[in-house]
Each structure stands twice: as structure tokens, then as C-alpha cells.
Chains A and B, each alone.
Chain A
Amino acid sequence: MKRRNRSFPRSVFSEIFGSFEAIIPRPLCEAFLNLCMRYGFVYYGLRFEEDERYVRVTMPESERKRVLTACRMWQIRIRVVSRHGLPQRVRSLKGRWGLLAGAALSLLIYFTAQSVIWRVDVMGNDRLSAEYVRDILAEQGLCVGAKIREINKDSVEQRIMIERDDISWISIGIEGTVARVEIRETLDTDTSEKETKPANLVSRFDAQIVGMEVYSGFLSVKEGDFVRAGELLVSGIYKTEKAPLRFTRASGRILGRVEQSFTVEIPLVQAKKVLKNEKITKKTLIFFGKPIKLFTNYGNLPPTCDIINYLYTFDPFSLGELPIALSVEEYRPYEIRDIEISEDEAIEQAHAKLREIIDGALPDARILKKSVQGEFVDGKYVLKCELTAICDIAKQVELDVID
């Protein structure tokens, strides 16, 4: 038996509007055909099956109910064996609206995401941090989540160069969804000016000079001299035959033997911050620069608490951070309590504090002699230290020259 294929237009039609296949017992085939003729039902692909025991026919989905009703009325046994086409596929998704909603949302995100900035790359910065530059750009409307169509690059560049003294040149290029920003920082004029300002070297402590390294200026002391704190060591002012006064920035190292004494007091009862067991966490999803709160209100926060911020970014493919981040704020309440510490703890704290003070006062010093004495007095641990050391006692003091 030759099987006749459906024509292409009919295939497209039945795919879009749907069709169904039904079988009728062979003896009822003529009655069925006459029924179709009477009611004007359209059919196609009529064929015999199973040694002509059944007849299979394909009909449009739109006529299914009418056909079944008419067959029931005329007592023609018909059985629908399959349904095809778009209406059937949509029907199968009836209980799965989440699938369609998810597909629609994905398409929306895909087309929307192409029109916004995903990342801002900063290049050419040295003193200025990338975050600082991004903040400046965000003020001008260029940030993650900004619509590319609405960004006027030339205008942003001009405004930043006019308004910012620390940026001398800026260039913005948008490649796809990434904004590449290159800057040139202005020179640090303060530092350069400072380096030319006249200055003297004076003594920081009472000391005996034991060594000198002068790079510029005129020495006012010699080895073995005893100097007081504030006394001139190297002068930045000098006379020449031709000019009455000239100025320079005195620099160098003047090593002196100093004797210093330090006292550290550590109370045995101290007010300490004690963290409570509870912890409040607030999470915010940052999606293309827009914050989306993921928490419900917690009411009033405790009066005293430490706030710790974490920012988790995502870079799953090592191609750069995605414009999605999770910001977590942790609130850890605490209370201030008077806590008594042990004597050993007090001694340890005192020595640590003493080391800190000595390092701050005498950096890079070579200690010649050190004596430390500690005792417990009136609920405190008192640590006294006498030391003799050799260190750089020179300190630069700038001069204001008035013409």
C-alpha cells in the first residue's frame, strides 16, 4: 500500500494548530467517511492497518470534540490514539508553569544583561586605588549596572578631568559589557615641593654625638658634643661671598648616644569588651549594582555591637568578576565588663607595651644598656625601663623663607 506523505503546507499547518490520530474499525469506515461528508469534517492520511482491521485517520485538533460527539451520536466507535502539534506541547507544560516562567526570565535577563555594564576595569593608576577611581566614575553615572546606551563617554571624561585635580588624563572605552578606563595621575606636587623647601636638622633628644652622615647642609656640631633636644645639628642656611644668604634642605643622619626612661602601668582590673553569644546577620544580594535585601527586618539593633562587613564576589571561570556579589553584614553585640586579669597577664601586657613604646620612640636604635624593673603597686603593675642606646637623633625642621 502506498503511503502518501502530507504536503509541506499541511505539515506546517497541523504542527502549528495541532492534529490528532484516531482509529476506526474497518467495517465502520464507510459510515465514518459519510459522517465526515455530512458534517464537513476534514481528514487526511486515511490508511488501513493491521490487515485492514482498522482504519487510521488524521484530523485537525480543532475538530476533535465535534468529531467525537458526532461519532458518539451515530454510534461509530472511534478511538483517539495520539495528539500532535503545538497545542499538545503547550498542554503538556500545563502543570509546569515554572519551566515557562524560568525560560521567559532567562531570556529577559539575557537580553537585558547585554545592555548594561558588567565590570569596570581601571588601568594606569598608581597612588589612587581602583576603588577610588570607580567611585569617581560612579558619581558620573558609569558603574556596574549602568545602561550602556545612556553613558556619554566624552562627557564623563571631560567632567572628571575638570573636576578632579588628582587625575590629569582619563580615557574610557566600552568593549561589550566591560568598561575599560585608563588614567594618568597628576604628579604629587606636595612631595616635590617639600623636597625643595629649606630645612634644618635639629636634635630630637638630649644626646652625645657619636657619628655623623651629612648629605646636605652645614654641620654645626662635631663628634663628642653634647646636645640638647631641639639644638641645631645641621644648618640649611649658609652665606656665600656673592650672595648674603642661601638656603638648602639639610639632610643626613646624626648618631647620638641617648639615655631614655620609660614607664608602663597596667591595671589589674580592666574594662574589656566581651562579645555576647548572639549574632545578627544581614545578607544583601548585589545584582548589577542594585542591592536586593535577602533578610527581613530584625527590629532595633543592640546599642553596642561590632559591625563586620564581608563582600563575596563570584569569578567561576577566572575571566573576571561577575556583576553579582553577596554582601554580608554581621552584627556582634558586646558589653563592657570589668575583668580582673592575672599577674602573669599583666606582666606580659606591660612588656609588650614597653616594646611598642621603645620601637616608636627609637626606631632602628642599637641598645647598649637596658634595665627593667617591675612591681605591683595599688592594683597596677608598674614597669620601669632605663636604657642607653645609639640612634639617629636628627629631625628635619622646615624653614619658612619670606622674601
Chain B
Amino acid sequence: MKRKEGESAREKLKRALDLEGLSYLGDLLELRGTHELDARGCEGILLYSETCIKLSMKKYVLNIEGEGLFCSSYLAYTVRVRGEIASLRFEKREDKK
């Protein structure tokens, strides 16, 4: 397999063994239907209301809009939001610009 430009040997090995997904350590959003969202990598809650929850992720701010929203759990920087999720919006973090 040819190494891509700028790719280290380690990354090449991961790609060859198809382990890229498992070794990913960055932000991860997992949406189940329109009722449940797991946001991994959340550093804090910026706004909390039933219609809008703003989560501060590593490189951006995640806006979750909908109805009856609430944070059901959070563990090790992973927040679970439940409710009727209408939309997800990504905003650039002002301090990371």
C-alpha cells in the first residue's frame, strides 16, 4: 500500500488494518433517530433550556435546537441530550478563532 503524502508509518498501518475508526479520539456526535444525541468531547454547557442547548466542544460550539430538551447524563466529557431534536448547528468558537 502506498503511503500518502504527510502520512506517518503509524497512520499508514492504521489505514491498512482499517483501525482508523477505533482509534479516533476526537469529538464524536452520535445521533439516534431524532430523540437522543451523545456528544463526546463536551467541555461545558453554555446554554441550557428546553428549546436550546449549547454545548462547548473542543473546536466549535454545538447548538441543539428542538423541544423538551434535557441532558439525561454526562460522563467523562460525554453528554447525552434527549428530547425532540429539530436541528444541529455548528458555530465556530470565538476564543478558538
Contact = CB atoms under 8 A, between A and B. Distances in A.
Q: Sorted from nearest, which 9 A-B pairs have the closest CB atoms? A: A33-B45, A34-B44, A37-B74, A2-B68, A30-B45, A30-B48, A29-B48, A34-B45, A33-B48
B70 A30 contact: no
A48 B48 CA distance: 10
Interface of B: 42, 44-50, 68, 70-71, 74-75, 77, 79
Contact of B70 (A34, A37, A40, A46): A46
B74 A1 contact: no
Main secondary structure of the interface of B (DSSP, over half): strand
Nearest to B50: A1
Contacts of B45: 30, 33-34, 37
Nearest to A34: B44
A48 B51 CA distance: 12
Given A4-B70, A46-B70, A37 B44 contact: yes
Interface in A33-53: 33-34, 36-37, 40, 46, 48, 52
6 contacts: A1-B68, A30-B48, A33-B45, A36-B74, A37-B44, A40-B75
A1 B68 CA distance: 7
Nearest to B44: A34
Interface of A: 1-2, 4, 29-30, 33-34, 36-37, 40, 46, 48, 52
A30 B46 contact: yes
Contacts of A30: 44-48
B39 to A, nearest CB: 12
B71 A33 contact: yes
Given A30-B45, A37-B42, 19 more contacts: A1-B50, A1-B68, A2-B68, A30-B44, A30-B46, A30-B47, A33-B45, A33-B48, A33-B71, A34-B44, A37-B45, A37-B74, A37-B77, A37-B79, A46-B70, A46-B71, A48-B49, A48-B50, A52-B49
B33 to A, nearest CB: 17
Contacts of A48: 49-50
A52 B44 CA distance: 21
Nearest to A45: B70
Contacts of A40: 75
